[in-house]
Amino acid sequence: MLILVGLAHLFYEVIHMPMGTLNLPGAGVFPLVLIIPMAFMAVYRISWLLTHKDEDTVSIVLGDKNIFLALAGLVGIALLLDLLGFVITMGVFLFVTFKMFTESSWLKSALQAAIAVIGLYVFFEYLIGVTLPMGHLIVL
């Protein structure tokens, strides 16, 4: 139910964003495309739970150490991206992610992170023209 309330709030915010045209979609199109199916899934799940409440249900333990570590990493990215810049923040995040979630060696994890960061940087900066933060601590 809480998810549905959150989606309703997001929907309210998104409908005030520019939608653009068919040839040039605005900032509100992508969030709207995500919110609508998620709202339908939430309504379906709530209705299913209400109609099947008499059946025996099994408790499911939500969460895992890896999930919480990944979420902590994403929070770290949000906090450090402007301060340290895209290259350093994503490089460290990807290196730690590759090292923790795979059986890769330190060198292989570092190479994978470096290649991924270079690929992401080229994609955003040169292919789609999105300027990535360079960080306030970087002195050029």
Task: Provide the residue ranges of all domains of the chain, joining segments of one domain with +.
Answer: 2-51, 65-127
Of the pLDDT bands very low, low, confident and very high (cuts 50, 70, 90), residue 58 is low
**Single pTM value for the model:** 0.57
Three-state secondary structure of the chain: CHHHHHHHHHHHHHCCCCCECCCCECCCHHHHHHHHHHHHHHHHHHHHHHHCCCCCCCCCCCCCHHHHHHHHHHHHHHHHHHHHCHHHHHHHHHHHHHHHHCCCCHHHHHHHHHHHHHHHHHHHHHHCCCCCCCCCCCCC
- Mind listing the pLDDT tens digit for each residue in 89-111? 999 999 999 998 888 899 999 99
